[in-house]
Structure 1
Amino acid sequence: MESEKYEGLYGQDEEEKEIEFLKKEIEKYKKKHEASIEDTAKLGKKREEADNLTKKLKERIEKEGNKLMESEDLLRERNQEFQEDINSRWNHNQQLKAKKQGMEETVDYLGKEREKLETVCSSGMERKMVFKGKLSEKISRCGINVKHQIKYTVRGGTALIVFEEPSVAARLIKKRLHRVVVEECYINVRAEPVELTVLDSLNVDMDRSPWKILVSNLPADVPQDKLLDKIELFFSKPSNGGGEVEFREYLADSRSVTLTFTQEGVAPRLVEKRTFNVPFSDRETHQVCVSPSLDGTITGYQMKRLQCNRTVLITGIPDIKDEDTMNDLLEIHFQKESNEGGEVQKLFYCPEGKNAVVVFEDDEDE
């Protein structure tokens, strides 16, 4: 009995120890649980902060991405504009190069033409000029001025009247029909414009002849035949730089002589020297000038219809009076302002049954 009592006491102590141990374990795990809860709360807070930070980063990334896309679009537009500007500048540069090349070709051409003209102009062909006091702002498009002399057929029963003022001619033509008093009766005539076909433009290709020279500045007191003989004799001698002359020609309008040589190279050699002292008599020499002879070929021309500004054609004049009387009657009638006329500079009447030819020249007062 006594042994059972001791065993019971021993078993009770073990149980209490176990209970005490379990309590400590429970307390320990309780503290761990509380710590775990606390850690969980901290982790939750950190997770929330991380989520917020992630959200902010996403928003920032999205915002920066939009900015980057806008920058790329802007860069693309700038690049396109830059490329277009480069293309435009390149095209402009090509145009400038083409213009430059064209101008260089023109300058080269003009330089060659200038050399030709300098050779001609410096050869001694001088003419005395005088200013007559007339000014003009018009400059001819070509280098050659042409003065027209046009033959015009005047048929019978007509008259040409030249007025001092162009406005008078225009007024008569506009009215057209006119009644002229011839003593006791009237005649009905018509005022019509005078239209002429004139040269508007002329294209001439000119080049220096390798065989021919022009000799100018010749003495005025030497007869033509003697002049030709002396010139041919002088320039046919090799000692004077000349050669055999094939053909000679006297140009009366400029009082000069052209010589054509049989050998090529003689003409350029003489032109290069320019001046020569030619003995036209036994006692004295005269300095002549040698220049290249220009051969010209007409390559094209244009004509145009031109109305005379001060001349009127009167038609329908019957042959009822003699020529002088009709001439006076017409001039008296068309001089009166009451008849739409004005100051008559010249009047030419051609009776019926006759024809005449008159010459028109450029109007110096135009």
Structure 2
Amino acid sequence: MSTEDFSLVDTDSLDSKQKEIQKCKKKHESLLNEQKILKDGIENNKNFAREFRRRAEERKVSIEEETKKCTKTIQKEKEKCSNIQEEQSRLQMDILKMKEELQSLDRKNSSLKKQTEISTAVPERRVVFQGETKEGAHAVSFDVNSRIVYPMEGGTALITFEEEDVAQKILSQKEHRVELGDCAITVQAKPIQFLVPDYVEMETQVCPHRILVSNLPKEEPEDRTLDKLDIYFSRKKNGGGEVEDTDMLHDSGTVVITFVEDNIAKRLSDKQDHEVDFGRKKYKVKVTPFLNGEISQMKICNSDSLRTVLLTGIPDIMEKDNLQDNLEIHFQKTTNGGGEVEGILYNPLGHNTLALFEEDSPKDSQTE
């Protein structure tokens, strides 16, 4: 090439091209850097996505395990609640049973208290059940005739033997198997105990309105006796006055007469003996003061009925009379440890019976 050829080249244009080339290089480098940044970002995003999936999987497993634990916990709590409800129901049943037992004890205590409500001093005496019963609101009492009314529970029987030794032998065996034809029952033998007065002190005072009339004719009817006494003691010529009330005391066979005025009773009791006209015949009656008494001190003690045994646990499986007969036959046999039976009373389940105990007649010169 000649010198002239080189001179034809434009230096400014060449510089401009070089500058453009430099710019392109820088732009290329910039693009490469951006590409690298994008690749790094994509890789980071992939790593982040992988980490996210891993954590999500772990979280899913953790949630499933937590759910299982919660389900088990809820099930256990439900079981606990169910157990608590069952325990609460059982406790409520126990409370009801305890209330029933307390009511039963209250009734028994009330009965025992009634037995100790005595109108006068009573020495301790032997009593025995002789098969009699007594009804009425005032049946539970212990009077001067040594009579005790014993409230029998259902499914029990009272049996009195002629000999104490037989009763004690029956008690020592405690349980007895009684054959009833095709079946048999087992009954328990228990002693009979009473609360009886051991020592009684009473504060008494003469009633100004009442008198006690005794020695009454037994052959006259009660209504006629009361009418004749009312007529006799209401007349002033006999020392009487206006009668307010007449009342027959059947246990003692005496009559209480109440006057309106309070000076009549003393006048009649001072005379004491009075002859009352009953129409066909005159009878001499005795008038004594009527005492109002209040127990000031009393001690009680336990007393056993040595010839009477209480049988409990008797099911209601046949007619009352048939079952009572079977019990009597069983305990009469010496092979069963029994002996001669003086009296027996069976009270079926669901029934209430009051057994009357009276003073036991002395045997072998023994007293109590």
Given the two structures, how large is their TM-score scaled by the length of structure 1?
Answer: 0.48
Given the two structures, how large is their TM-score scaled by the length of structure 2?
Answer: 0.48
Computing the radius of gyration from Cα coordinates, the structure with the larger value is 1
